[in-house]
Amino acid sequence: MSVTPSEGIIARIKQKNLADLIARGKRLDGRGLTDYREIKIEPGVIDKAEGSALVHIGNTMVMAGIKVEPGEPFPDTPNEGILTVNTELVPLASPTFEPGPPDENAIELARVVDRGLRESKAIDLPKLCLTPCKTVLVVFVDIYILNHDGNLVDASSIAALAALLNTKMPKYEVDDDEIRLKPGRIKLPIQNFPIAVTQGKINQNLLVDPNLTEEQVMDAKLTITIDKEGCVCAMQKSGLGAFSLDMVEAAFKTAREKAEGLRKLLEK
């Protein structure tokens, strides 16, 4: 059952200060309303994983690891590989994260990242079929939140994509129902770059890449995932507030502009 969360205590004075600043187009950390914090992408940090990446957005720190293994296809897609996205809100990342099975926030986060990758067809899944109806490759994307300072969705989706781009998987060969490893490694067939852009709403203002303090004050947030053609492939409104139609349209426009810049970072 989903329960109203008790919000983190943030001093009323800070809340007012922050809202006043934002109304004047400024933010506590000196950014403009549509600026991201500094983004650092470090691919290939875990040798044992087929692919990995460590991403920083300001103090938010997320690691993604990719494992690729042969498995059975789903009955409704017998000729396609499988994409699985999982996130862990690791207890060392925040005083509010607790050990245990993933809660609704972890599940929502994973499903929003998953939706972006799946709907944009980022991975060419039909190419991951070894024998139709029998064996396909399963791509596990495991996202580890290591430090929580807001905007986990964008950090996770950049980390997932960077790790997928970094993936070098074993070559498999199927001979008389037997799966054998061949020497050498190949890249994953990546054909699209879905970029998630999250904006928080405080009163009547939108701010790109909200940090944790801003997340605690904001009414709601909207994640819009843009593919390489500038089309939208996933969206999620989250939080207790509401958006006007005009705000959604403004957010959409900003998301398309910001996605462009983020995509360039990843293409490097």
Partner 1 sequence: MVQTQPPTKLIDEKGKRIDGRNPRELRPIKLEVSVLENAAGSAYIEQGKNKILAAVYGPREAHPKHLALPDRAVIRCRYHMAPFSTETRKNPAPSRRELELSKIIREALEPTIFTELYPRTTIDVFIEVLQSDGGTRGAGIIAASLALADAGVPMRDLVVGCAAGKIEGQIVLDLDDVEDKFGQADMPVAILPRTGEITLLQMDGMLSPEEFEEALNLAIEGCKKIHEMQRNALKRKYAVEKEAAEEIVNTEKEEKEES
User: By CB under 8 A, is residue 138 in contact with partner 1?
Assistant: no
230 binds partner 1 (CB under 8 A): yes
Chain residues 65-84 in contact with partner 1, contact rule CB under 8 A:
75-76, 78
Closest approach of partner 1 to the CB of residue 235, in Å:
4
Min dist. Cβ of residue 36 to partner 1 (A): 22
Neighbours of 179 (CB within 10 A): 13
CA distance 268 to 256: 19
Check residue 263 for interaction with partner 1 (CB under 8 A).
no
Q: Which is nearer to partner 1, 67 or 134 (CB)?
A: 134
The two tokens of residue 134 are: 């029998």
Alpha-carbon distance of 246 to 227, in angstroms, equals 22
Q: Site mask, partner 1, residues 79-118, x = CB under 8 A?
A: -------------------------xx-xx-xx---x--x
- The position carrying tokens 């992408």 is 41
Residue of 58, 63, 68 whose CA lies nearest to 42? 63
Which of helix, strand or coil describes residue 106? helix
Backbone angles phi, psi at 182, to 5 degrees: -105, 155
Q: Which residues bind partner 1 (CB under 8 A)?
A: 1-4, 6, 75-76, 78, 104-105, 107-108, 110-111, 115, 118-120, 133, 220, 222, 227, 229-245, 248-249, 252, 256
